[in-house]
């Protein structure tokens, strides 16, 4: 089963990582979901695929009242990111889902309608969770053509979607990266293949390196923290991507 | 409950396959009815050339044309209904999948809203089943009517044979046509029989 772990806490402002499911069937890629809570309001990033809804929902319900989840942030359109949307809507028909405007009419194939989906403009936008102000940071072509990350300046956390993802061995269930050099070997192939544009990557590294980030939280694999964040950005900047 | 729902959805996926097969059967009957219609048109033109001697044949081939048109209309109605059934059955599969996942979420966490969501999906499922039941029984009536029409069709085809025999020495072409009629109508009957069985499920 998945488990929600607090990765940031300051007063009523919290981030939880719902990470790593050792019970998950091996044919499903493992995903991390993050919950941002401020007071009685919560937002869930990349809620995951339909098949893992029961385990995400249960882990989340351990730490917050699930009715507080009023917003979903979908970094992009992939099934491992957002195919559970229909179930979240069944649970709460008033839930809203932020996603690139490019995907607004595609996502209703998973669930939702005009009311549910809030298309974000290419330049990104500010999102509010309780009193917390978050920023949707554009990351187009990394890997999706309409792609966003989510930055929380108070928590100094960047949710980076598939950027920073690592396909780790089954027995490697640590929440945080322990040994960067060892870890990055599991991230390399993924980035070379899945990230489509060196130009977009350069631009992202430039912008993101100006933000204060203490934790870089990808949708797959372990979280980078402290010096490993800049280590990752520099590594990514050097990497040639978009190759099969 | 989770297992129950997933066992149900495997039943539904068989149902979906059955409805898809049903649609293929309907298409086959409609195709044969179309062949009868073409044959009847040709036979009418042919018989008109024979003049007074083949008047009876003209009347009968016109009846066969009407019969084939009726059968085609019935198959169109059945076809529309079976398309509806296929789409409702696929929607039902999706609904049951969602219900299964919500139920599994509810096994670890009990939450009022989760139960409400399950309840709503269950209600939707019941409505869907009712709707499918109505379409199903309407289809049974259509097939029964088509079967009756076809039995009548075999009688007309037989009469056509007799009329062809009365068309005199020039009636060989009409005899050919009337034999074809019998063959086509006889081919439709087992098709309709299969449809009847398939609808009994
Ligand atoms: Fe992706
Ligand atoms: Fe992903």
Q: Is a pLDDT exceeding 60 seen at residue B176? A: yes
Q: Is residue A114 part of a domain?
A: yes
How many alpha carbons fall within 13 Å on the CB side of residue B168? 8
- pLDDT at position A61 is 92
CA distances from B103 to A65, A81, B4, B98, B147 (A): 18, 21, 10, 8, 45
Q: Which residue of A has its CA nearest to B124?
A: A90
Which residue in A1, A61, A86 is closest to B98 by CB distance? A86
Residues B107, A109, B94: CA angle, nearest 5 degrees: 40
d(CA B137, CA B147): 15
A53 touches chain B (CB under 8 A): yes
Q: Is a pLDDT exceeding 80 seen at residue B61? A: yes
Q: Which residue of A has its CA nearest to B102?
A: A54
- pLDDT at position B19 is 82
**Among positive and negative, which fits the CA dihedral A212, A136, A127, A79?**
negative
Residues 6+ apart with CB under 8 A from A127: A43, A71, A73, A98, A133, A134, A135, A136, A150
**DSSP at A175:** S
pLDDT digits (tens, 9 = 90+) for A69-111: 999 999 999 999 999 999 999 999 999 999 999 999 999 999 9
Cβ separation of B101 and A66 shorter than 8 Å?
Answer: no
Structure tokens at B137: 């029984």
Q: Is a pLDDT exceeding 70 seen at residue B1? A: no
The CA A130 to ligand 1 mean position distance, Å, reads 28
- pLDDT at position B108 is 83
CA distances from A174 to A22, A164, A223 (A): 11, 15, 9
Q: Is residue A244 part of a domain?
A: no
Q: Which residues surround ligand 2, an ion (CB under 5 A)?
A: A 80, 162, 219
Residues A194, A149, A126: CA angle, nearest 5 degrees: 155
Band (pLDDT 50/70/90 cuts) for residue B7 is low
Looking at the CA of A29, which ligand is closest?
Answer: 2
How many alpha carbons fall within 13 Å on the CB side of residue A153? 12
Q: What is the mean pLDDT of residues A146-170?
A: 97
ipTM of the complex: 0.84
pLDDT digits (tens, 9 = 90+) for B119-175: 999 999 999 999 999 999 999 999 999 999 999 989 988 888 888 887 776 678 888
Cβ separation of B97 and A50 shorter than 8 Å?
Answer: yes
CATH number for position A41: 3.60.15.10
Which residue in B97, B109, B121 is closest to A57 by CB distance? B109
- pLDDT at position A26 is 83
Cβ separation of B113 and A66 shorter than 8 Å?
Answer: yes
Q: Is a pLDDT exceeding 60 seen at residue A198? A: yes
Q: What is the mean pLDDT of residues A59-70?
A: 94
Q: Is residue A116 part of a domain?
A: yes
Band (pLDDT 50/70/90 cuts) for residue B88 is very high
Q: Is a pLDDT exceeding 80 seen at residue A161? A: yes
Query: What per-residue string of b and e applies to A105-130 under the rule 16 or more CB within 10 Å gives b?
Result: eebeebbbeeebbbbbeeebeebebb
Structure tokens at A200: 């977009």
Q: Is residue A218 part of a domain?
A: yes
Q: Is residue A243 part of a domain?
A: no
Find the largest Cα–Cα distance for chain B. 87
Q: What residues in chain B have their Cβ under 8 A from chain A's Cβ atoms?
A: 97-98, 101-102, 104-105, 107-109, 111, 113-114, 117, 120-121
Q: Is a pLDDT exceeding 80 seen at residue A45? A: yes
d(CA B96, CA B98): 5
Which residue in B107, B108, B114 is closest to A91 by CB distance? B114
The CA A147 to ligand 1 mean position distance, Å, reads 9
The CA A12 to ligand 2 mean position distance, Å, reads 29
Structure tokens at B106: 């509810």
Distance from the A186 Cα atom to the nearest Cα atom in chain B, whole angstroms: 31
φ and ψ at residue A223, rounded to 5 degrees: -85, 140
Q: What is the mean pLDDT of residues A228-240?
A: 98
The total number of structural domains that make up chain A: 1
Which residue in A50, A62, A91 is closest to B117 by CB distance? A91
Residues 6+ apart with CB under 8 A from A83: A48, A49, A50, A110
Domain span including residue A178: 4-238
Q: What whole-number percentage of chain A has pLDDT above 90?
A: 93
d(CA A122, CA A148): 9
d(CA A216, CA A238): 18
DSSP conformation letters of A126-157: EEEETTEEEEEEE-TTSSSSS-EEEEETTTTE
Q: Please state at what angle helix A198-208 crosses helix A227-238, rounded to 10 degrees.
A: 150
- pLDDT at position B8 is 65
Q: Hey, of A21, A24, A48, A57, which one would you mutate to test binding to chain B, going by the most B CBs within 10 A of its CB?
A: A57
The CA A24 to ligand 2 mean position distance, Å, reads 16
Cβ separation of B101 and A53 shorter than 8 Å?
Answer: yes
Q: Is a pLDDT exceeding 70 seen at residue A50? A: yes
Q: Which of A60-69, A188-197, B77-86 has the lowest mean pLDDT?
A: B77-86
The CA B139 to ligand 1 mean position distance, Å, reads 45
Q: What whole-number percentage of chain A has pLDDT above 70?
A: 100
Q: Which of A173-177, B10-14, B139-143 has the lowest mean pLDDT?
A: B10-14
Higher pLDDT, B57 or B34: B34
Q: Is a pLDDT exceeding 60 seen at residue B3? A: no
Which residues in chain A touch residue B97, judged by CB atoms under 8 angstroms apart?
A: 50
Q: Give whichever of A58-62, A135-139, B16-20 has the largest mean pLDDT.
A: A135-139
- pLDDT at position A88 is 96
d(CA B134, CA A238): 64
Q: Is residue A71 part of a domain?
A: yes
Q: Hey, of A55, A60, A87, which one would you mutate to test binding to chain B, going by the most B CBs within 10 A of its CB?
A: A87
A54 touches chain B (CB under 8 A): yes
**For residues B120 and B176, is the Cβ–Cβ distance under 8 A?**
no
Q: Where are the alpha helices (DSSP H) in chain B?
A: 2-50, 55-108, 112-165, 172-200
CA distances from A220 to A25, A83, A154, A195, A197 (A): 15, 16, 23, 14, 20
Question: In order of start, what are the domains of chain B with their CATH numbers?
Answer: 2-200 (1.10.287)
Distance of CA B107 to the CA centre of its chain: 43
Beta-bridge partners for A158? A151, A216
Q: Is a pLDDT exceeding 70 seen at residue B201? A: no
φ and ψ at residue A178, rounded to 5 degrees: -100, -45
d(CA A6, CA A89): 25
φ and ψ at residue A148, rounded to 5 degrees: -135, 150
């Amino acid at each position: 089963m998945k488990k929600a772990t607090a990765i940031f806490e300051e007063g009523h402002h919290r981030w939880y990582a719902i990470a790593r499911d050792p019970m998950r069937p091996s044919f499903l890629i493992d995903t991390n979901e993050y919950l941002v809570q401020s007071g009685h309001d919560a937002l869930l990033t990349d809620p995951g695929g339909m098949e893992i809804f029961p385990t995400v929902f249960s882990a989340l319900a351990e730490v917050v009242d699930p009715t507080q989840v009023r917003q979903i942030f979908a970094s992009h359109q992939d099934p491992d990111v957002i195919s559970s949307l229909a179930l979240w809507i069944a649970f709460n028909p008033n839930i809203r889902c932020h996603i690139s405007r490019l995907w607004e009419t595609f996502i209703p194939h998973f669930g939702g309608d005009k009311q549910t989906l809030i298309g974000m403009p290419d330049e990104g936008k500010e999102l509010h969770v309780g009193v917390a102000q978050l920023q949707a940071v554009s990351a187009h072509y990394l890997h999706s053509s309409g792609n966003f990350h989510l930055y929380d300046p108070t928590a100094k956390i960047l949710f980076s979607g598939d950027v920073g993802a690592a396909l780790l061995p089954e027995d490697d269930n640590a929440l945080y990266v322990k040994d960067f050099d060892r870890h990055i070997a599991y991230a390399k192939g993924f980035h070379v293949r899945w990230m489509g544009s060196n130009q977009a990557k350069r631009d992202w590294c430039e912008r993101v390196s100006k933000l204060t980030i203490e934790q870089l939280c990808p949708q797959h694999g372990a979280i980078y923290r402290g010096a490993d964040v800049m280590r990752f950005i520099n590594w990514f900047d050097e990497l040639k991507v978009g190759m099969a | 409950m989770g297992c129950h729902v997933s066992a149900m959805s495997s039943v539904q996926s068989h149902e979906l396959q059955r409805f898809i097969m049903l649609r293929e059967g309907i298409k086959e009957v409609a195709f044969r009815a179309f062949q009868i219609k073409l044959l009847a048109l040709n036979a009418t033109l042919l018989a008109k050339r024979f003049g007074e001697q083949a008047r009876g044949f003209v009347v009968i081939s016109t009846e066969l044309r009407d019969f084939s048109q009726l059968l085609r209309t019935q198959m169109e109605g059945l076809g529309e209904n079976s398309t509806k059934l296929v789409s409702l059955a696929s929607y039902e599969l999706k609904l049951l999948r969602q219900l299964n996942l919500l139920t599994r979420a509810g096994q670890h966490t009990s939450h009022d809203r989760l139960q409400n969501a399950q309840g709503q999906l269950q209600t939707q499922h019941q409505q869907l089943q009712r709707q499918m039941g109505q379409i199903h029984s309407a289809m049974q009536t259509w097939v029964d009517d088509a079967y009756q029409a076809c039995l009548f069709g075999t009688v007309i085809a037989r009469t056509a044979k007799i009329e062809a025999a009365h068309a005199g020495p020039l009636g060989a072409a009409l005899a050919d046509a009337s034999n074809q009629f019998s063959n086509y109508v006889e081919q439709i009957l087992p098709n309709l029989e299969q449809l009847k069985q398939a609808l009994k499920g």
